[in-house]
Amino acid sequence: MSIKLVQDRLDSYNCKSSIDEDHAIREITQEVALAALGRTDFFKHAAFQGGTCLRIFYGLNRFSEDMDFILKEANRDFALQPHLQAVCDELKAYGYDVEVADRSRTDVAVRKAFLKDDSLGKDLQLQYADKSGPLKKIRIRFEVDTNPPSGSGVEIKYVDFPFVSSVTVQDKPSLFAGKLHALLCRGYVKGRDWYDFLWYTSQDIGINYEFLSSALKQQGPWQNEDIEVDLKWCLEHLGNKVRSVDWGAAREDVRRFVKATEQPSLGLWSKELFLSQVGKIRR
C-alpha cells in the first residue's frame, strides 16, 4: 500500500482548514485516476475537459469536483465500466476502498458514474478533520460525452503523480468555447463558470468558434438554428447574459471553491466588472 505517497502529497498543499483538506484529498484522488486512465487506451478515444482539467493542467486557481471527458469521435456504444475498473484497481493500491456507482444509460449520450470512498481519511494524518465524528466521504463524478460537438482541438499533457502518465486534454480555445456554451445556455447561475470566465479573459485566450457553433446547434436556446457564431455574436450575447446575472448568487456558488486569500476579490463581482472582461475578448 502506498498511503505514504498520498500523505506526502497532502502535506505539500499546506492546508489551512478542513475545507482545504477536503479539496486537496479530492484533487489527489483525481490525479491518481488520471494516471490510471493513462495506463489504459482511454485517451485514444477521449479527451479531458472542464474545470478540473483547467486546474490540473492550465493553472486555474480554484478547486473542482467533477471529471469531465468527451470522446474524440461520437460512439454511442462506448462503455465506461472497463476504464472505471482500472481506476479502482489503481486507487486500491494507494489505500482507497472505492465504491463505484455506474449511472450510465445507453439511451443517454453522457455516461455517468460516481467514485466514492470513506476509508482513506482514517489512515491519513489530517490536521483539521474531526476524528471523533464521521469523516467526509470522497465523491467524484465521472462524465463522458459519447456524442460531443464537432471541432474540438486537443493536445497531450502529462501528470507526474503518482507516476508519469500521458493525458489527452482539450486545448485552451476549445475549453473556452465549451465554457462560453455553458455560460450562454445553462438554465441557472453557476458562479464557477464566471470565475473561469475571468481566468480565460485574463489569459488572452482565443475562442474555437467551430466547436462553440457545433455545441450551440446541438444543445441550448439556439439548438438546430443556422447562426453565424463569431466574435461580434459572442460579445453581444455575453453582454446580454452578464446584465441578467444575480451576482450575489454567483459569488456564493463559487465561494467554497476558492482559498480564503481570494475571498475578498469576490466582493468586486458585478455587472460592470464582467462587462469589462467581455470587452477584453479580441479573437
Q: What are the pLDDT digits (tens) for 57-83?
A: 999 999 888 999 999 999 999 988 889
pLDDT of residue 135: 56
Contact between 121 and 136 under an 8 Å Cβ cutoff? The reply is: yes
How large is the average pLDDT for residues 138-150? 94
Strand partners, 114: 101, 141
Cell numbers standing for residue 23: 479539496
Bridge partners of 74, per DSSP, are none
Q: Evaluate whether 92 touches 98 at the Cβ level (below 8 Å).
A: yes
Nearest to 165 by CA among 87, 113, 100: 87
Answer yes or no: is pLDDT of 126 > 60. yes
pLDDT of residue 132 exceeding 50, the answer is no
* Confidence (pLDDT) at 37: 96
C-alpha cell at 92: 486500491
Q: Which amino acid is at 141?
A: R
Cell of 129: 478533520
> If DSSP codes are grouped into helix, strand and coil, which group holds residue 248?
helix
Is residue 262 pLDDT above 90, yes or no? Answer: no
Radius of gyration over every alpha carbon of the chain, rounded to an integer in angstroms: 19
Please give the distance of CA 180 from its chain centroid, rounded to a whole number. 14
Could you count the other beta carbons within 10 Å of the beta carbon of residue 179?
A: 24
The reported pLDDT for the residue numbered 121 is 66
What integer pLDDT is reported at residue 152 of this predicted model? 97
Instruction: Write down the domain spans for the chain.
Output: 3-170, 174-278
- Answer for the pair 259, 20: CB distance below 8 angstroms, yes or no: yes
Mean pLDDT of the chain: 91
| Burial 155-173, CB ≥16 within 10 A → b, else e | eebebebbeebebbbbbbb
Evaluate if residue 134 carries a pLDDT over 60: no
What H or E segment, with its residue span, contains residue 258? none
162 prior amide bond cis, ω within 30? yes
* Domain at 3-170, CATH class: alpha beta
Of residues 49 and 127, more confidently modeled: 49
Are 208 and 230 within 8 A, CB to CB? no
Average pLDDT of span 192-197: 96
Report the range of poorest mean pLDDT among 94-103, 126-135, 143-152, 154-163.
126-135
Strand, coil or helix: what is 49? strand
Residue 272 predicted with pLDDT over 90: yes
| The pLDDT of residue 131 is above 60 | no
Q: Please name which of 29, 23, 21 lies closest in space to residue 161, comparing C-alpha atoms.
A: 29
- Residue whose C-alpha is closest to residue 245's, from 196, 201, 176, 183: 183
- Report residue 138 as a C-alpha cell: 470522497
Q: What is the Cα–Cα distance from 6 to 78, expressed in whole angstroms?
A: 32
CA distance 27 to 258: 14
Element (H, E) at 142: strand 138-145
Q: Is the dihedral of CA 173, 178, 184, 190 positive or negative?
A: negative
